Amino acid sequence: MIIGVAIKHGDMVIGLPKPNRHHNVIWHIVKDLGIKGPLGFEGQGFYDNQGKYYNREEAREYAIKTGQCVSPENPRELFSEDIW
């Protein structure tokens, strides 16, 4: 089950639990961790209860497969609004 949002930054995956959104993670990265630099959209995703990271496309498939989200609004990617 997906339990949080995450952003990949280099080799790190930084996440926050639901009901946070990706902008909350970006705020945390910049303000609390002091990390600067480009935080591209290609690094946005989610993590599950086992700590595994999924990009938006993988997370959409996983959420549908596990029944967490029956019909995400976006045909390609998962957004936090789809699951909380």
Structural domain span for residue 71: 2-83
> pLDDT at position 70, please?
87
State yes or no: pLDDT of 81 exceeds 60.
Answer: yes
Question: pLDDT digits over 5-56, tens only?
Answer: 999 887 889 999 999 999 999 999 989 998 877 765 568 999 999 999 999 9
Could you report how far apart the first and last alpha carbons of the chain are, in Å? Answer: 12
pLDDT of 68 > 80? The answer is: yes
Whole-angstrom Cα distance, residue 46 to residue 6?
Answer: 5
Cβ–Cβ under 8 Å, residues 63 and 69: yes
Helix (H), strand (E) at residue 14: strand 12-17
| Three-class DSSP category at 31 | helix
pLDDT at 83: 95
Q: Determine the Cα–Cα distance for residues 6 and 12; give it in Å rounded to an integer.
A: 10
Q: How many domains does the chain have?
A: 1
